[in-house]
């Protein structure tokens, strides 16, 4: 289970810190020749590791990785001597912390390697798919994000899919149809169960409008991490997930929306926003 990485965290520095924390925990096993000396080394490790990681991952993940219930129980179990059964509890805790950090390091390494790909990362809320005059298959994401001949990688948090599922069952007929259509396209692109697929191949042919060629467009679905608690408001959850994607991708992403309030939230959160507008009359309607 990958921790919630705080905005602004450098992903490579986080990986280095997790690796060093894991190595330091291994070293506590050889700290002296008594259970008491190993206990002292473990407590020092927990304090130092908490200081190093508190600015990188959430408080809940610090509790999950370091400040566990067993950690607090061990605080009340002094003194420890050789042969003391409480020493076995310390050994169990160290073993489990090592496994947890190994999982974190493996998952973060996998994600960093996957998102080292070139191109522009894009996150959009449901308004793009339901309110744009073009349907998903016809959307020119390169033009919308001014990426031109760069590849475009559309990253969809699962909460966006959940919102589309809700829209296809309620609301105005046009939105219901657009939501259902968009879900069908995404499901087809992802292969009916995968997490990534290609929406469009790169188009390097000369364009009559004189604009640049277009890079390939891919779609990736990002599921909620195990144990993840969503924010009460879906708009806030989408922005929170977009922040996490930006941090772990190690680059600025484009966030696309038609909603003014959502665009304001996204800018405040440090996202590069593409705010789209619905065409409307410039004439003010009469007062009634």
The predicted pLDDT at position 180 comes to 96
Q: Do residues 160 and 237 make contact, with C-beta atoms less than 8 angstroms apart?
A: no
What confidence tier does 83 reach under pLDDT thresholds 50, 70, 90? low
Tell me the pLDDT band of 115, cut-offs 50, 70 and 90: very high
Where exactly are the structural domains of the chain?
Answer: 11-114, 119-275
The CATH classification number of 119-275 equals 3.40.50.1010
Let me know: does 104 contact 21? Beta carbons within 8 Å: no
**pTM to 2 decimals?**
0.84
Q: Which residues lie across from 272 on neighbouring strands?
A: 254
Cα–Cα distance for residue pair 16/3, rounded to 1 Å: 15
What pLDDT score was predicted for residue 46? 97
Q: Count the residues in the chain.
A: 288
Tokens found for residue 119 = 């191109």
Is pLDDT above 90 for 75? no
User: What is the edge-to-edge ordering of all strands in the sheet holding 217-222?
Assistant: 196-200, 217-222, 152-157, 120-124, 254-257, 272-275
């Amino acid at each position: 289970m990958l921790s919630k990485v705080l905005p602004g965290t450098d992903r490579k520095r986080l990986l280095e810190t997790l690796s060093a924390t894991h190595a330091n925990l291994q070293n506590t096993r050889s700290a002296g020749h008594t259970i008491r000396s190993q206990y002292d080394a473990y407590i020092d490790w927990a304090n130092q590791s908490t200081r190093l990681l508190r600015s990188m991952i959430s408080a809940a993940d610090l509790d999950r990785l370091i400040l566990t219930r067993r950690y607090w129980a061990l605080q009340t179990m002094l003194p420890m001597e050789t042969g003391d059964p409480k020493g076995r509890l310390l050994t169990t805790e160290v073993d489990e912390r090592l496994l947890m950090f190994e999982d974190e390091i493996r998952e973060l390494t996998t994600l960093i390697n996957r998102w080292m790909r070139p191109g522009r990362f894009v996150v959009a809320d449901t308004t793009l798919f339901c309110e744009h005059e073009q349907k998903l298959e016809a959307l020119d994401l390169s033009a919308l994000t001014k990426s031109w001949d760069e590849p475009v990688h559309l990253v969809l948090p699962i909460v966006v899919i959940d919102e589309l599922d809700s829209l296809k069952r309620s609301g105005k007929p046009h939105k219901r149809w657009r939501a259902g259509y968009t879900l069908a396209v995404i499901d087809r692109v992802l292969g009916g169960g995968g997490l990534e697929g290609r929406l469009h191949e790169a188009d390097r042919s000369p364009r009559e409008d004189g604009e640049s060629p277009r890079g390939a467009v891919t779609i990736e679905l990002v599921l909620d991490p195990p144990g993840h608690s969503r924010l009460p408001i879906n708009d806030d959850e989408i922005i929170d997930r977009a922040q996490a994607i930006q941090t772990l991708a190690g680059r600025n992403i484009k966030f696309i929306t038609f909603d003014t309030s959502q665009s304001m939230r996204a800018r405040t959160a440090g996202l590069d926003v593409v705010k789209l507008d619905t065409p409307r009359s410039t004439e003010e309607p009469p007062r009634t």
